[in-house]
Amino acid sequence: MKAKTGVILVLFAAFVNVAAQDAEAGQNVVEELFVETLVKPETCSIMSETGDTLEIHYTGKLLADGKVIDSSLSRDPLVVVLGKRTVIPGLEQSLVGVCEGQKIKTTIPPHLAYGKRGYPPTIPADAALEFEVEVMSLIQATPWQKIVNDVFPLVCLGLVPTLLGMVGLYLYNKANAQRPGKKKAKDKKSKKK
């Protein structure tokens, strides 16, 4: 009986130790997107919205050790159309509400970056990232572009079931249409003789 109690106490102590280590590790985990403005222009009359096009320079780092994973500083600025998912979700979300000339630093949690898979070999699994971004230019979407971006996908989404229904109706009618049977075909042949 004492041996069983001792084993249970040892297992309980091991469980408490593992839970404490998990809690300590959890303190360093980033759960939410955090955006800090480093430089904001004096006049910021136009702020970015979904559908706008931005040209940005950026430097991305691993939050854990500060290792640079990518930078656009040695090449042309990256063109990002907000809402088109051309960059990781956390970076795109942090670019909504910025203006031309603004510099931001954003801390991106793993679920808004590369998640559990990571991007081997550069970005490990469950890695939080930090980006410093400078907005070089901001081109607002025209009203026509906003209609195309917002309404057109909904119209297409509505048309797909309609077209599938029409194809189904056509195939149903075609399958149930009266076809001349073999008996009628034989009658026609015998009349010809």
Residue 13 has pLDDT above 60, yes or no: no
Segments of the chain assigned E as strands: 34-39, 53-62, 68-71, 78-81, 103-108, 129-139
Q: What does the pLDDT read at residue 93?
A: 96
Q: What does the pLDDT read at residue 86?
A: 92
Cα-Cα end-to-end distance for the chain: 105
Q: What does the pLDDT read at residue 151?
A: 74
Residue 184 has pLDDT above 80, yes or no: no
Predicted model pTM: 0.63
pLDDT, tens digit, 9 for 90 and up, residues 56-114? 999 999 999 999 999 999 999 999 999 889 999 999 999 999 999 999 999 999 999 99
Looking at every residue in the chain, the average pLDDT score rounds to: 82
- Cα of 167 vs its chain's centroid, Å: 33
Cβ proximity of 51 and 81 under 8 Å: yes
* Residues 6 or more apart whose Cβ sits within 8 Å of residue 40: 99, 102
Q: What does the pLDDT read at residue 62?
A: 96
Share of the chain above pLDDT 90, in %: 53
Residue 172 has pLDDT above 60, yes or no: yes
Q: What does the pLDDT read at residue 10?
A: 43
Work out the average pLDDT over 25-31.
59
Nearest residue to 96 (alpha-carbon basis) of 129, 128, 140: 140
Q: What does the pLDDT read at residue 41?
A: 93
Q: What does the pLDDT read at residue 159?
A: 86
Q: What does the pLDDT read at residue 190?
A: 62
State how far the Cα of 109 lies from the Cα of 111, in Å rounded to an integer. 6
pLDDT confidence band for 46 (50 / 70 / 90): very high
More confident residue, 55 or 190: 55
